């Protein structure tokens, strides 16, 4: 069976009446087609756009799962694409942060950013951390998988900064980073007019387009600055 036949068979199985194992089927389809599977995934929502038929609930659920997996794949890819600091155009390199849901990137001038590579799930659970000190509690909420999936992204940022300040005993901290340079190619960024008043459009001469609001968004992935101490104390 060739690749085309495999993808067609996977799509038939996803559309079938069976409700079991569809997430694994979606994973297999995405592994074969990558972002080309988006058109098929979007078509699943069109089967019952107003959710009138309860029998389609599982189909809508697996479509939502597929979108989530594609966004995660896109975010992971972006960690290799974001190669230059938008503030000073120095090369960006990975650095360790206490959060498996994000990848840390920083330049030689210590401008720090992160890319969220996973989304929260927010299960309804009664979670209690049996740890001694505040730092241990903060680390447990970030590194324990059952806990981290219930931590909202902005709360996770505060916890990461709290841990970083404690572990590094840092005194000096970076200032707010301006978005002057393209993180893909390091050319200068210039404003361009776009329709969303909540964000600012930025583009380089190579045509890399970004939307700026608490970070630089590019193709469904976002390079976000880390919190700075003045955000916590102000």
Write down the domain spans for the chain.
3-79, 82-233
pLDDT at 89: 95
Q: Encoding tokens for residue 38?
A: 């988006």
Q: Is the pTM for the entire model greater than 0.85?
A: no
Run of H or E residues at 62: helix 57-81
Q: What is the chain's pLDDT, residue by residue, as a tens digit (234 residues)? A: 788 889 999 999 988 867 678 899 999 999 999 888 999 998 888 876 666 677 678 888 888 889 888 988 999 999 999 999 999 999 999 999 888 889 999 999 989 999 998 876 655 555 566 666 788 888 888 888 778 877 877 778 778 877 877 777 655 556 678 899 999 999 999 999 988 888 899 999 999 999 998 889 998 899 999 876 665 554
Rg (CA), the chain: 21
Q: Which residues of 55-88 are buried (b: 16+ CB within 10 A; e: fewer)?
A: ebeebbebbebbbebbbbbbbeebbebbbbbbbe
pLDDT at 230: 61
pLDDT at 187: 97
Contact 147, 127 (CB under 8 A): yes
pLDDT at 174: 60
d(CA 230, CA 78): 28
d(CA 102, CA 75): 9
Q: Encoding tokens for residue 207?
A: 């045509």
Contact 222, 117 (CB under 8 A): no
pLDDT at 121: 61
pLDDT at 108: 94
């Amino acid at each position: 069976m060739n690749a085309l036949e495999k993808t067609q068979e996977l799509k038939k199985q996803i559309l079938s009446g069976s409700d079991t194992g569809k997430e694994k089927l979606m994973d297999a389809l995405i592994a074969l087609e990558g972002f080309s599977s988006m058109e098929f995934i979007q078509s699943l929502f069109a089967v019952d756009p107003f959710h009138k038929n309860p029998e389609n609930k599982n189909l809508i659920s697996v479509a939502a799962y597929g979108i989530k997996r594609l966004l995660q794949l896109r975010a992971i890819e972006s960690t290799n694409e974001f190669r230059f600091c938008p503030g000073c155009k120095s090369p960006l390199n990975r650095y360790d942060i206490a959060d498996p849901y994000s990848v840390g990137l920083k330049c030689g001038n210590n401008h720090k950013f992160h890319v969220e590579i996973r989304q929260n799930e927010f299960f309804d659970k009664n979670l209690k951390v049996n740890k001694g000190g505040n730092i241990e509690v903060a680390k447990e909420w970030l590194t324990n998988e059952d806990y981290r999936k219930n931590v909202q992204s902005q709360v996770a940022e505060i916890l990461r900064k709290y841990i970083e300040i404690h572990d590094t005993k840092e005194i000096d901290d970076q200032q707010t980073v301006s978005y002057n340079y393209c993180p893909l190619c390091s050319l200068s960024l210039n404003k361009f007019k776009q329709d969303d008043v909540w964000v600012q459009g930025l583009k380089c001469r190579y045509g890399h387009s970004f939307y700026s609001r608490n970070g630089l968004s590019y193709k469904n992935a976002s390079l976000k600055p880390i919190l700075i101490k003045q955000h916590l104390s102000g």
